[in-house]
Amino acid sequence: MEKIKAIQIVKPEELRIIEMDKPVIDGKNNVLVKVKASGMCGSDVGIYHGQNAAATYPRVIGHEIVGEVVEAGPSAKKVKPGDRVIIDQVTACGHCYACRIGRPNVCQHLAVRGVHIDGGYREYIAVPDTDCYLLPDDLRYEDAVLIEPTTIAIQACSRAQITSEDEVLIMGCGALGSRMLSVAKLSGAKIIVADVVDEKLEEALKNGASHTVNLLKENLDEKLKEYTTDAYGPTLSIDCACTKDSLGTLIRVTGNAGRVITMGFSVAPTEVTQFGITSKELDIRGSRLQNRKFQEAIDLVREGKIDLHQKISHTFHFTDAQKAFDFNDTHDPSIRKIVFTFDN
């Protein structure tokens, strides 16, 4: 059996470059994709550090997966060899309650590539052709990995039922927060971005935010009163920081009858009071992964409504994965998005 190389998290804090059998196509996984690039997401970092409650070990991680189809079985109708594709990370059973009501992203038997089953930090992956989506021709593989976090943002905005009447707070402006801003601004809503890095806040203003707040230098509550109509507070708050205290903070600052979208996977206790939610009749809504949003994201890119070009701050060859994770842990302010490449 031919071997390929992959990045595996053996257990928390232990990363190895391993050899594994090269995948072969079959009746279900009927296309073979040569991986060209795969992004580093906060959830990948969480798996590495043992902070992702959903993950199982040992695991080949990576769920932002782009590549070239190199083989297609007779049942493959959607793609053909030579096609440049991105791969949906969600696999679902199709028959549980969540699947029956059209929400396979929270399937009872959900298996996410790179979390519950081996993902895209490897040289080749076999998947169903139905999980592949064609990339825009002018988009580099490295930039194309950002389609996946864009789908996460589309999902969150869908769950939030965002409208042009909203005054939105986005907490955190890293890779996810910047994608959230690019999607949320399409609604016409007024957007406030909060972060701790001035450079990221300056970029947010250039990219469509109306106001920003530096959480280390400014009082969030006071600034939100200043920046929202009649000092009402945000009508919608989206947690892209996902820290221990961020959910409690958003519940505190969101205005009456508002919505709070939580996306984090921490299992650390966070202080939330019933009064904080009930007194303002807030909707607290989880948003997980994405629900068939890839084509929507790709169409927005093709139409020029979302720009993914040159948004990657750092690339590493996948065999330098340990260096990449160590660098990410420095929290260098230059980091926006780290991507692994797989070509020799």
Mean pLDDT to the nearest integer, 303-309:
95
Domain 150-286 has CATH 3.40.50.720: yes
Per-residue confidence at 180, pLDDT binned at 50, 70, 90? very high
Per-residue confidence at 1, pLDDT binned at 50, 70, 90? confident
Q: Are 147 and 297 spatial neighbours (Cβ–Cβ below 8 Å)?
A: yes
Per-residue confidence at 310, pLDDT binned at 50, 70, 90? confident
Mean pLDDT to the nearest integer, 78-89:
98
| Predicted pLDDT of residue 293 | 98
| Predicted pLDDT of residue 266 | 82
| Predicted pLDDT of residue 277 | 98
Give the separation between CA 293 and CA 261, rounded to whole angstroms. Answer: 18
Mean pLDDT to the nearest integer, 58-77:
98
SS3 assignment, position 131: helix
pLDDT at residue 315 is higher than 80: yes
Give pLDDT tens digits for 184-239: 999 999 999 999 999 999 999 999 999 999 999 999 999 999 999 999 999 999 99
User: For the chain, what is the mean pLDDT?
Assistant: 96
Burial-class residue 157 by CB neighbours within 10 Å (0-12, 13-18, 19+): buried
Q: Which residues of 19-42 are buried (b: 16+ CB within 10 A; e: fewer)?
A: ebeebebeeebbbbbebbbbbbbb
**What is the distance, to the nearest Å, from the Cα of residue 89 to the centroid of all Cα atoms in its chain?**
11
Mean pLDDT to the nearest integer, 325-329:
98
Give pLDDT tens digits for 235-293: 999 999 999 999 999 999 999 999 999 998 888 888 899 999 999 999 999 999 999 99
Q: Where are the domains of the chain?
A: 3-146+308-341, 150-286
Percent of the chain exceeding pLDDT 90 equals 93
Mean pLDDT to the nearest integer, 144-160:
97
Phi, psi of 18 (to 5 degrees): -115, 165
Give the separation between CA 161 and CA 334, rounded to whole angstroms. Answer: 33
Counting every residue written for the chain, the total comes to 344
pLDDT at residue 111 is higher than 90: yes
Q: Which CATH number describes the domain made up of 3-146+308-341?
A: 3.90.180.10
Give the separation between CA 48 and CA 39, rounded to whole angstroms. Answer: 14
**What is the distance, to the nearest Å, from the Cα of residue 321 to the centroid of all Cα atoms in its chain?**
19
pTM of the predicted structure, to 2 decimals? 0.95
Mean pLDDT to the nearest integer, 315-339:
96
β-pairing, 338-341 with 211-214?
A: unpaired
Give the separation between CA 129 and CA 75, rounded to whole angstroms. Answer: 9
Mean pLDDT to the nearest integer, 25-47:
96
Give pLDDT tens digits for 119-143: 999 999 999 999 999 999 999 999 9
| Predicted pLDDT of residue 29 | 98
β-pairing, 31-39 with 338-341?
A: antiparallel
Percent of the chain exceeding pLDDT 70 equals 100
| Predicted pLDDT of residue 284 | 98
